[in-house]
Amino acid sequence: MIGAPPVMTGSPALTLFRKVVCVDLDDDSPPTDAAAALRLIQDQRSATARRLDPDARLLYWPWGVAWLVGFGLFFLQFTPGEQALVRLPGWLPPTVLFILLVAAGAIQAVVSVRAYGQVTGDSARRGKWYGYAWALGSLSVYAGLGRIAEHLPPDLAALLWSATAVGLTGALHMAGGAVWLDRDLFRLGVWISVINLVGAFAGPGWHPLIVAVAGGGGILVAGAIARRRQRQRQQP
């Protein structure tokens, strides 16, 4: 009887080997010794965690890029002072921001479904309800804003929109940290809320710059940290 290697290395060749061999393997046989058993446990657990836990960078970075570029364009259009830094058509910044945010949402949805799609239960319910909070929260906030913003001058309307949107994002990130007991996610929410506060007091023009650099940059950094922690967790 040929024994398949007790560890799953993840290399395609070995995986194929396992697929072929496993059919005939007398796998009722115990691991050869305690060390092999422990190795098997650790490898299997980390392999499973790797497959069920999507790369954190894919969940964070698209949002970071969207904020960096989208709010960056807002800053260029509504530069504080008399003269705009770059002349941009008025429709461009909101359109680019909207497209990038939709793209980030789509990437998040695809990555999540691929990883957790076949897992149901408490985690799935948490994720679903949290998603509803984002969707319904955004809708209700923006519906109210739309009615007020039309009576404001463009620079104040832009500040109202972005400060409210960013504030909601900060609060929901903090809530997400509470739901999953994820300290880094919670800290990101605090960071976003604080820079939003700073930006709102700094006033129209400055707010998008602060959100682009500190907010977008903060999300990129948070993604890198989350990825590092994920790697540490997934070490066999």
Partner 1 sequence: MTELDPVIHAQARLRVVASLSALNVGDKIAFPRLQELLAMTAGNLSVHLRKLEDAGYVEISKTHRGRTPATLVRLSQRGRLAFEEYTEAIRALLDPTS
Q: Which residues bind partner 1 (CB under 8 A)?
A: 6, 8, 15, 18-19, 22-23, 25, 27-31, 33-35, 37-38, 40-41, 44-49, 51-52, 117-124
By the 8 A CB rule, do 218 and 191 touch? yes
Minimum separation from the CB atom of position 188 to partner 1 (A): 22
- Alpha-carbon distance of 146 to 213, in angstroms, equals 26
- Alpha-carbon distance of 59 to 69, in angstroms, equals 17
Minimum separation from the CB atom of position 115 to partner 1 (A): 10
- Residue 21 class from Cβ within 10 Å (0-12 exposed, 13-18 middle, 19+ buried)? middle
Using alpha carbons, select from 135, 144, 189 the residue that is nearest to residue 166.
189
Nearer to partner 1, 83 or 118 (CB): 118
* Residue 159 CB neighbour total at 10 angstroms: 24
Nearer to partner 1, 45 or 203 (CB): 45
Minimum separation from the CB atom of position 16 to partner 1 (A): 9
Answer left, alpha or beta for residue 171, where phi above 0 means left and psi between -120 and 50 means alpha.
alpha
Nearer to partner 1, 15 or 95 (CB): 15
Minimum separation from the CB atom of position 23 to partner 1 (A): 6
Nearer to partner 1, 22 or 136 (CB): 22
